[in-house]
Structure 1
């Protein structure tokens, strides 16, 4: 769960991040008892507060929507990020430096050294981001400033997206970085300065260029994309920060921290080709737009988008390179079961030009008119195949089938096959055959979604509903075990771990609390359950953690719940035995099962 981060570091972040302060920064909370706070749930619309925060156990639970857990679970749900990102975001919030490779078997000193080096790189990038912003602002007649004016980007937008300009000098950044106390090697590693291989001479990487700050998912500046304002720049129109310990191009999306909120709210993301197109969509009201770094969209970036939205709109250029980029992105997005549409800009313009000429309404109309990705693929087929010949149409069907092989959902696959067959004017049966032919040729063992004429679905194991009273008994025992170390130890004597169960979160939580009591760390039981809820959210467990139910006679409640648990387990076992009895024809096995049923009675 810690992704290489030691438990000590995780616990330090948790201890520094008070849950009341954290959640109170998102929604107003009012005290509702000694250690309890209430407020309107930040995860669903409600008029009466049903969201409870327990300060003593550092847990929250909404009695309306059921969300609950600790500070990490809250940040994961609120920011719609994974545990690793939540960990780093909260670490930054409370001032904890996470050592690199800080697992149990790593060298702490080496991990701290790497962490300090990474932190220095973050500081280099932040300092130069401010330096570039000041350079842009302080030179109103410079080419970068005039370029922004020409593109219609006002000052407030430039400030929001942290656009700047590098001085038009070969060593201005080098000298400024050294004056701040950074070493030459730090400036080279960050990409602010480059070293000429032949002579070893140091020079500014972004000399005279317009700079766009690139931030990671936590909102920290990790590098820059810089645009040349020369007619034919020798190093290319755009250059980026080279790969570094903090700048991993394939895992970064431009403007993601600014786009994340609307992505979740609208369940949509717009993927553009570059920074200016992204900014244009934001200015038009579509603040869910992002762009990959460089020309290639990666699987890592696709998975990042999937965390925030299930609908993605591709807004690439209409030229051949843009069309190829669309289809490459489609290949990466299809396995993630995302709804993919393509935004076509009228007249072959790019989104930035469309916004400047037509304003927000023109951009909104282009988004509304977006078409499914399959339509784009089918429309491009005549450029590569003779659709009037059987062989050409067959090869075209093979190309489409190659994309559909990426789909993992059976329902989606069948619907796409229906559409593709209609578009290609062939039968669905013929298309299924083509899919199987390609699948067999590629020897793909994982394409189980394609059915065959004789395929018979594998029988699914029968699931049993929980026996009456089982859940109630387990929850009462969990409440008792959390509130009392003595009760937890007593329960370990009365019930085996198997009897308490490991098939659901409540059973695992109960066994975890008992283990904590036996190992002398019962005081950490709530934190242990918070860790469980990070990986396996369960409303029943988070509710127990904030409810603090009082028992008039805890000993009697414990005995009654154990008895109820055993009766429920007996009924559960009997139901399973009856199913086995109905499914066997072996007389000896039947007699053995009947004997077991009799013993249960």
Structure 2
């Protein structure tokens, strides 16, 4: 019985295999000086590269996790191979004939087919399927490709094939090539019912390859109406070599371009990957029957230069429908897996890259990627668009939902930037957005915002802010003038209205004043404060009038002091209105809603002019 592989043959395999060539199939390496190369470690998650490869010595070492070894130990760990399987795999590629010691030395091969045999079975299957695509039986498959703009050259580039409807065609072919039934089943190519039968029958097939280019599975598309399996797509089941959570379709073709450009484009299907590559977007990949997850992110990061020393781009493409928006939110939840900037590209007409290429050509696909927008902005805009931001209560709801999403991200360094984005979209103060994000972060998962507020004993049950909150100091000081010195403030308040007061209690006080005839009505009325208090229907408003009447002003009021407060209050109101219109303009399509867009743009210009006038009036008396 043959025993261990001879040591001199193992040494020859090591000598003829460049470790940097092998490692670079899994990790993007850059020169680090001194004959060393470095990249992100594939064995642990890191943001700064600490994984070094020294080709001259055939050795790798990670200064982060401590993993080290030669090319054989690298492949054993990253692909889960035994020593023997690894040597056999490398020997085949290096052209080394392996010899074994005679005797009954213990063979370390695991039970069941070796990994290399499973890869070989998938390789033979891919070649068989590709040949079948040219047969008369595959006419429907060729028509499917042609209708989507893929010719024979494209099919050959991507290795596309056709599975005959005969349920044993591949199985018989594999048996003829020396594969056992156990190997074909373990490879995911054959299933067992009453007897062995081909897993894929009468379907168009895409070979799914790992980064080095080995076929490890297939994606099969339904093309015949009488196909008994109604699922549009079938994929290879989980095997020793095919793990769908770690597989990206197209990575074998895209990995070098991803490394060169530090950009990865994630699409939703096989035909979308094809359309992108044929249109000049050679960085496109897709998941295989599952959502993009953490393991997929780790695979991409190996090639992206995705570390703190260099930031690339990860661009997701989604349909513009509800499902696409959900996918975007799911991707946003994994945004922190990347140091790279994350973007989203959505075609306005809702077309995926394949349909876009058919209808508008290759340039349109490239333009789709070029028009990408930050992922966080897309997700937040979708949330905000559900609410009528012209209503105060809806702005609060939009703020709360946006804050909940932002508070869930793990990368705290991004929170402040997202809070600023929320403030601009919703039309609220940045500090208010930050505060809501903090409150959302402190809530229990799934807890209603109102229930969370009720659990905080230090906070009042009402949502009304503290009257002495610095945000409302200008409103408070202006009302103190109105209550204490109605004669002095007099006509200066003629342009003030309820909307100049953002605190609900202060607004209610102003409405009392307006209802009593305005500040001028209290000029010679010794019972002015009493009249306002008596007219208040709520204890909080009556109490506020009393406070405003007794709290000292910051200085003895004169015309300049009055102007400083009245014009500043009006200027703040104008600024809020400007922000609200800018926010609405961002949500308005200038082509499809041209009339509304132009009207708002005109209103914005008028408000900006009014704001400049108020600033001039504010500065005038102070000179």
Instruction: Report the alpha carbon displacement of residue 323 of structure 1 after superposing the two structures with TM.
Output: 2.0
CA contact under 8 A between 1:85 and 1:217: conserved in structure 2? no
- Give yes or no for the alignment of 1:124 onto 2:121: yes
Structure 2-normalised TM-score?
0.55
Q: Is the 8 A contact 2:254 2:285 kept in 1?
A: yes
Q: Sort the Cα spacing of 1:68 and 1:244 in 2 relative to 1 into closer, same or farther, 3 A.
A: closer
What are the superposed Cα offsets for residues 127-185 of structure 1, whole Å, 9 maximum, x if unpaired? 10111011113448621122222222122221221111101212212222332333333
| Contact 2:381/2:425, CA 8 A, preserved across alignment | no
Map of 2:553 onto structure 1: none
Q: Residues 22 and 244 from structure 1, CA distance in 2 versus in 1: closer, same or farther, beyond 3 angstroms?
A: closer
Displacement of 1:382 after TM fit?
5.1
Residue aligning to 2:164: 167
Deviation readout 1:435-459 (Å, 9 max, x if unpaired)? 2222222489xxxxxxxxxxxxxxx
- The corresponding residue for 1:229 is 223
Query: CA, structure 1 residues 407+144, in 2 after alignment: closer, same or farther (shift >3 Å)?
Result: same
Q: Name the counterpart of 1:275.
A: 270
Residue pairs, 1:323-472, within 5 angstroms:
323-381=325-383, 384-385=386-387, 387-442=389-444
1:368 Cα offset (Å) = 1.4
Deviation at 1:430, TM superposition (A): 2.1
Is residue 2:208 matched to residue 1:206?
no
Extract unaligned runs of 5+ from structure 1: 1-7, 28-41, 54-65, 77-81, 98-107, 445-601
- CA drift of 1:275 comes to 0.6
Q: Is 1:176 aligned with 2:178?
A: no
8 Å CA contact retained: 1:72, 1:87: no
Contact map agreement 1:404 1:416 (CA 8 A) in 2: yes
User: Contact conserved, 1:334 with 1:406, CA < 8 A, in 2?
Assistant: no
Instruction: Measure, in 2, the Cα distance between the counterparts of 1:10 and 1:443.
Output: 59
Deviations 1:64-113 (A, max 9, x none): xx98624354999xxxxx9854998986444499xxxxxxxxxx968522
Change (3 A) 1:382 1:87: closer
1:120 & 1:25 partners in 2: Cα distance?
20
Pick 1 or 2: higher relative contact order, CA cutoff 8 A, min separation 6.
1
Correspondence for 2:247 among 244, 252, 255: 252
Structure-2 change in CA distance of 1:231 and 1:115 (3 Å): closer
CA contact (8 A) 1:278 1:290 kept: yes
Contact 1:401 1:434 in 2 (8 A): yes
Q: Specify whether residues 431 and 15 from structure 1 end up closer, same or farther in structure 2 by C-alpha distance, changes over 3 A only.
A: farther
How far apart, in 1, do the equivalents of 2:129 and 2:17 lie? 38
Contact 2:384 2:425 in 1 (8 A): no
Q: Determine if the alignment matches structure 1 residue 264 to structure 2 residue 256.
A: no
Q: Provide closer, same or farther for how the CA distance between residues 337 and 12 of structure 1 changes in structure 2, counting only shifts above 3 A.
A: farther
Question: Do the aligned residues in 2 keep the contact of 1:337 with 1:407 (CA within 8 Å)?
Answer: no
Partner of 2:287: 292
Q: Residues 10 and 87 of structure 1 are in contact (CA less than 8 Å); yes or no, is this contact kept in structure 2? A: no
Structure 2: distance between partners of 1:184 and 1:335: 41
> Does residue 113 of structure 1 match 2:115?
no
SS in 2 for 1:210: strand
Deviation at 1:14, TM superposition (A): 7.9
- Do the aligned partners of 1:256 and 1:290 also contact (CA within 8 Å) in 2? yes
Compute the displacement of 1:271 (Å).
0.2
RMSD over aligned Cα atoms: 4.1
Larger-gyration structure (1/2): 2
Q: Please state how far the C-alpha of 1:301 moved relative to its aligned partner.
A: 0.3
Which of these residues, 210, 214, 219, is aligned with residue 216 of structure 1? 210
Per the alignment, residue 131 of structure 2 pairs with 134
Per-residue CA deviations over 1:259-294 (Å, capped at 9, x if unaligned) read 011111111100000010001110111111000011
Shift of 1:255: 0.8
Q: CA deviation at 1:222?
A: 0.9
What TM-score results when the alignment is normalised by the length of structure 1? Answer: 0.57
